[in-house]
Amino acid sequence: MTPDNDASPAPFGALAPNAAQGAIIAAAHRTRLKRGAFRPMLSRLLDLSRAGPVDATYQGASFRFYHQASATERGALFNPDYNIEELDFLRAHTPAGGSFVDVGANVGTYALPLARHVGERGRVIAIEPHPVTHARLKFNRAASGFRQVTLVAAAAGPDDGELLIETDGENLGASHVVTRKASAEAIKVPSRRLSGILAEAGLPAIDALKIDIEGFEDRVLTGFFAEAPPPLWPRAVVIEHLSRDQWLKDCIADMIARGYAQAGRTRSNTLLVRAS
């Protein structure tokens, strides 16, 4: 029974790790086994004890992790400090009661920890177009009890309309926009301009924004900064740069030209802060 195809999935906690699984996860947390190269092996070990998803907490939020075919879910399950540099950067620039926007929210490994950080008076907008991933995100939001999180079942894009996205069968979280239907995995999803999403949400300002949409970041951000008033520009941005060779325009350079400065860089992401 899963949140992907069942309206009433087993409640959170019903799939808590059994004794053997708990021992494997604990060993990963305290050793080098938490590293990315070991995670697929650990995932297979969990399945030997009990196949299927696992309920666990990560950064103060509750998740049902489908670790078998999602690098993000494996990372958060086996490494308690997964993406910690980026998360700490975003939390440092987002006050309690503040606002955070997650473009390409996946199952919520940024959105839900930031929701816990901003608290009940804060706002989080989590944008995720893939229907399976969105269902998991919705389940995790409910399991965490974070009513301050608004979910958007659409892709952020340069225009309102539709986009084709395709899923990497080995990693659901790496779904990406394609220009034509290249395989049976490609599906149509709604596409919306980021400024329109924020206007509908009634968000007058953004403290921090994270964007990770597999090489489509420039199509979203360059249009957003061109049309959104400066008061709506986020104070801090985390942008994945692993697929920047697919950008039509260097959106990091565009942000720097608009007054942002690079505050850090990790293996996957560039961290930017807007000059006050």
* pLDDT value, residue 2: 40
Is residue 61 included in any domain, yes or no? yes
Q: Are residues 54 and 140 in the same domain?
A: no
Q: Are residues 88 and 131 in the same domain?
A: yes
Q: Are residues 71 and 197 in the same domain?
A: no
Is residue 3 included in any domain, yes or no? no
Q: How far is CA 228 from the centre of its chain?
A: 23
Q: Are residues 39 and 125 in the same domain?
A: no
Calpha distance 114→94 (Å, rounded): 8
Overall average pLDDT of the 77-83 stretch: 97
Q: Are residues 39 and 159 in the same domain?
A: no
Sign of the CA dihedral 36, 40, 45, 49? Answer: positive
Q: What are 271's strand-pairing partners?
A: 238, 264
Overall average pLDDT of the 85-112 stretch: 98
> What is the total count of domains within the chain?
2
Question: 269, 240 in Cβ contact below 8 A?
Answer: yes
Q: Are residues 23 and 153 in the same domain?
A: no
* pLDDT value, residue 5: 47
**CATH code, domain with 261:** 3.40.50.150
Is residue 1 included in any domain, yes or no? no
Calpha distance 259→110 (Å, rounded): 25
Indicate the residue type of 68: Q
* pLDDT value, residue 141: 98
At 267 the three-state DSSP class reads coil
Rg (CA), the chain: 18
Residue 49 has what DSSP assignment? H
Q: Are residues 124 and 50 in the same domain?
A: no
Final residue of a structural domain among 39, 63, 78:
78
Q: Are residues 55 and 97 in the same domain?
A: no
* pLDDT for residue 209 is more than 80: yes
Q: Are residues 74 and 88 in the same domain?
A: no
- Kindly report, residue by residue over 218-254, the tens digit of the pLDDT: 999 999 999 999 999 999 999 999 999 999 999 999 9
Beta carbons within 10 angstroms of residue 204's beta carbon: 11
Is residue 122 included in any domain, yes or no? yes
Cα–Cα–Cα angle for 50, 56, 60, nearest 5°?
175
Q: How far is CA 268 from the centre of its chain?
A: 13
* pLDDT value, residue 177: 77
Calpha distance 238→138 (Å, rounded): 23
* pLDDT value, residue 142: 98
At 268 the three-state DSSP class reads coil
- Kindly report, residue by residue over 26-59, the tens digit of the pLDDT: 999 999 999 999 999 999 999 999 999 999 999 9
Overall average pLDDT of the 199-209 stretch: 94
Per the structure, the complete domain to which residue 228 belongs is given by: 84-274
Q: Are residues 254 and 154 in the same domain?
A: yes
